[in-house]
Amino acid sequence: MVVGDVLQLIQSAAAALQRREPAAARRALRQALALDPGRGDGWSIIGVAAIGSGDAVGALAPFRRSLCSAPGNPAYARNLAACLKRLGRAEEAAAVLHRAALAGALAPDLLCDLADLRLGSGDASAALPLYRAALLLAPDHGRSLNNLAETLRRLAMPAAATELTRLARLRGMAPAWAAAGAELVEAGRIEEAQPALCRALALDPADPASWSNLGFAHLQRHRAEASVAAFAHARRLDPALAEAPVGQGSALMLMGRLREGAALYEERLRLPLFQPPRRFDRPDWDGSIRPGATLLIHADRGIGDAIQFIRYAPILRAQGMRVLFCGQENLLGLLRSSRIVDAAFGYDDELPPYDMHAHVMSLVHRMGTGLDSIPADIPYLHASQAAKALWAGRAAGLEGLRIGIVWAGSVHFRYDRVRSPRLEPLLPLFGIPGTTAVVLQFGQGRDDMAKFPLPAGTVDWGCSLQGMDNTAAALGELDVVISSCTFMAHLAGALGRPVSVLLHAGSEWRWLRGLEESPWYPTARLYRQTAPGDWSGPVERLRADLAALAERRIALAGN
Strands (E) in 273-415, as ranges, are: 294-298, 322-327, 343-346, 356-359, 401-405
Task: Give 152's contacts (C-beta < 8 A, 6+ positions apart).
Answer: 128, 159, 160, 163, 164, 183
pLDDT at 14: 67
Cα separation, 391 vs 474, in Å, equals 6
Does the pLDDT value for residue 33 go beyond 60?
Answer: no
Peptide bond into 379 cis (omega under 30): yes
How are beta strands 499-503 and 524-528 bridged, if at all? parallel
pLDDT at 167: 78
The DSSP letter of residue 2 is -
CA distances from 217 to 79, 247, 404, 545 (A): 40, 10, 33, 32
391 with 474: CB under 8 angstroms?
yes
pLDDT at 433: 94
Q: Nearest Cα to 299, choosing from 290, 286, 311?
A: 311
Rounded to an integer, the average pLDDT of 60-67 is 84
pLDDT at 34: 59
Strands (E) in 315-355, as ranges, are: 322-327, 343-346
The DSSP letter of residue 517 is B
Rounded to an integer, the average pLDDT of 59-72 is 83
pLDDT-derived band of residue 559, with 50, 70 and 90 as boundaries? low
Does the pLDDT value for residue 6 go beyond 60?
Answer: no
Does the pLDDT value for residue 354 go beyond 60?
Answer: yes
Does the pLDDT value for residue 220 go beyond 80?
Answer: yes
pLDDT at 1: 44
87 with 57: CB under 8 angstroms?
yes
> Among the ranges 29-43, 98-112, 315-329, 455-469, which has the highest mean pLDDT value?
315-329
Rg (CA), the chain: 30
Cα separation, 359 vs 365, in Å, equals 11
Q: Of 46-55, 212-221, 228-237, give the lowest mean pLDDT range.
A: 46-55
Residues 123-176: pLDDT tens digits? 999 999 999 899 889 877 878 887 887 788 788 776 778 878 877 887 788 988
Name the burial class of residue 394, with classes exposed (0-12), middle (13-18) and buried (19+) by CB atoms within 10 angstroms of its CB.
Answer: middle
pLDDT-derived band of residue 51, with 50, 70 and 90 as boundaries? confident
Q: Of 3-17, 115-129, 474-488, 492-506, give the lowest mean pLDDT range.
A: 3-17
Does the pLDDT value for residue 228 go beyond 70?
Answer: yes
Cα separation, 140 vs 161, in Å, equals 17
SS3 26: helix
Residues 72-97: pLDDT tens digits? 889 889 989 999 999 999 999 999 99
pLDDT-derived band of residue 62, with 50, 70 and 90 as boundaries? confident
Does the pLDDT value for residue 21 go beyond 70?
Answer: no
Strands (E) in 349-456, as ranges, are: 356-359, 401-405, 435-439
> Among the ranges 31-35, 160-164, 277-281, 435-439, which has the highest mean pLDDT value?
435-439
Rounded to an integer, the average pLDDT of 210-225 is 97
Does the pLDDT value for residue 280 go beyond 50?
Answer: yes
The pLDDT mean for the chain works out to: 90
SS3 74: helix
Helix axes 190-203, 174-186, angle to 10 degrees: 160
Residues 104-115: pLDDT tens digits? 888 999 999 999
CA distances from 170 to 139, 176, 180 (A): 8, 9, 12
Q: Nearest Cα to 500, choosing from 457, 472, 441, 541?
A: 541
Cα separation, 524 vs 514, in Å, equals 14
Q: Nearest Cα to 391, choosing from 524, 522, 495, 543?
A: 495
Paired strand residues for 437: 403
310 with 341: CB under 8 angstroms?
yes
**In angstroms, how far is CA 156 from the centroid of its own chain?**
15
523 with 499: CB under 8 angstroms?
yes
The DSSP letter of residue 528 is E
HSE at residue 261, side-chain half, CA atoms within 13 A, is 25
Q: Of 150-164, 467-481, 494-508, 540-554, give the lowest mean pLDDT range.
A: 150-164
501 with 542: CB under 8 angstroms?
no
How many contiguous H segments (helices) and E segments (strands) does the chain have? 26, 10
Does the pLDDT value for residue 554 go beyond 50?
Answer: yes
Task: Give 544's contacts (C-beta < 8 A, 6+ positions apart).
Answer: none
pLDDT-derived band of residue 205, with 50, 70 and 90 as boundaries? very high
pLDDT at 387: 96
Cα separation, 547 vs 285, in Å, equals 48
Does the pLDDT value for residue 28 go beyond 70?
Answer: no
536 with 502: CB under 8 angstroms?
no
Helix axes 258-265, 243-254, angle to 10 degrees: 160
Rounded to an integer, the average pLDDT of 190-206 is 96
Residues 286-301: pLDDT tens digits? 999 999 999 999 998 8
CA distances from 310 to 343, 389, 523, 533 (A): 13, 25, 18, 32
- Within 10 angstroms of residue 491's Cβ, the number of other Cβ atoms is 24
The DSSP letter of residue 534 is -
pLDDT at 31: 63
